[in-house]
Amino acid sequence: MSATAAPLAGDGAGGCRHLAIIMDGNGRWAKARRLPRIAGHRAGVEAVRRVVEAAPGLGLDVLTLYAFSSENWKRPADEVSDLMGLLKHYVQSEIDNLHRNGVRLDFIGNWRALKPDMVALLERARERTAGNQGLSLVMALNYGGQDELVRAARGLAADVAAGRLNADDVTAEALEARLDTAQWPLPDAVLRTSGELRLSNFLLWQSAYAEFLVTETLWPDFDAAALGAALAEFARRERRFGGR
């Protein structure tokens, strides 16, 4: 997928209203430049700024970013600390701009299990932007798709055990309504940067009929042109939803 043929603003989504992105390649970007990994993560934050700024003009209503997975805790402690510090800095430094541009910021995953000061910061950001009607920016934090499904299933099982729900009422729709993403439409497309071909435990249920988009571009190099090219590729797809 080339990043050279970006469509004009407002013309490129081709029906893609919700794009989910697995932001991959920060470490490789830094290694190629003989820089520490944190330099790649910092450059990745700049890519987030560029993409969030470009998304509304390219027709997106919802942008979901895989910011920190539940598996990322396995990384070295200093790298985890750096990632959390960058997250805090991004929210603190960008919240005014996001709010001014009508962006609604929200989070999915077990983010309330993060440190109390981080949770308080994220809660304030959610509350401040809750009434905005522009782009919904959804950040997956301490998120794992399998964990999300287990939590949803556990909630349904508890309701059945308590008599609040009949077993026959446990349907796909009922489970979907318990997912972290219930308030947003399902993603039309899932994009992964850096050329990797795996979901990495991201939006497992929600991606059942999403289009997969892959680019060799490393996340720190991703920009408005690359986003436009991805959406143009999506527009060329024929979505069949299993019908033929």
132 is catalytic: no
Residue 49 counted as an annotated binding residue: no
Residue 201 counted as an annotated binding residue: no
Torsion angle, CA of 43/47/49/54, rounded to 10 degrees? 160
Residue 192 counted as an annotated binding residue: yes
Residue 11 counted as an annotated binding residue: no
Residue 124 counted as an annotated binding residue: no
110 is catalytic: no
Catalytic, out of 24, 106, 188, 223: 24
Residue 18 counted as an annotated binding residue: no
Residue 25 counted as an annotated binding residue: yes
Catalytic, out of 11, 61, 72, 110: 72
Residue 27 counted as an annotated binding residue: yes
Residue 211 counted as an annotated binding residue: yes
Residue 149 counted as an annotated binding residue: no
Binding residues for substrate: 25-29, 37, 41, 69-71, 73, 75, 192, 198-200
Catalytic residues: 24, 72
Residue ranges at the known binding site for Mg(2+): 24, 211
Residue numbers in the known binding site are 24-29, 37, 41, 69-71, 73, 75, 192, 198-200, 211
